[in-house]
Amino acid sequence: MNKLLLTLIASFFASVAIAQPVTPAAASAPAVVKAEAKADKNTAKAMASEAKVDAKADATATKADMKAADVKADAQADANKTKAKAHAKVTKADDADKMKAQAKAESVDAKADGKQATKAIRADAKAEKAKVEAQDDKAEAKKNTETVKAEGKADVKAAVAK
């Protein structure tokens, strides 16, 4: 959370420091100055909002990866537990039933491995979906920022034309 907050604050100050006047200050009519100030303010807000969305999207993607890793670890643990139970039955089986118990244990192993693989694939797919959605959010925020910048430039041009 601290990293997220730090990133947001740093990006806000960077965007404010980088924000340049939309047009040269040659025409210093009050309407132009006011339009430039409004455009700069809106651009700074949009950039801060974009940085916030980017940070949130990155956090979501990281969280999805961690959750997928947890699901995979749980699936591995479940598979190992199932296999251990099956092999314990083999060791307890009579000599006459050992071959049958061993065959059943191998079948249980195969099923456990299949179940584990299925869970891992689903977890990866879910994480990938979250990453794609995060990228969509980032793209949307960038588009909104560009729109605000363009609107600001248009407002300044309109003020200069008056």
One-letter identity of residue 54: D
Q: Which domain holds residue 81?
A: 2-21+29-161
Q: What is the pTM of this model?
A: 0.66
As a whole number of Å, the CA-based R_g of the chain is 29
Into how many domains does the chain fold? 1
Between CA 66 and CA 59 the distance in angstroms is 11
- 66-108 pLDDT, tens per residue? 999 999 999 999 999 999 999 998 998 888 888 999 999 999 9
Q: Name which residue leads in pLDDT, 77 or 20.
A: 77
Report pLDDT for 95. 84
Minimum mean pLDDT range among 29-43, 62-76, 123-137:
29-43
Eight-class DSSP state of 96: T
Q: What HEC string does 130-157 produce?
A: HHHHHHHHHHHHHHHHHHHHHHHHHHHH
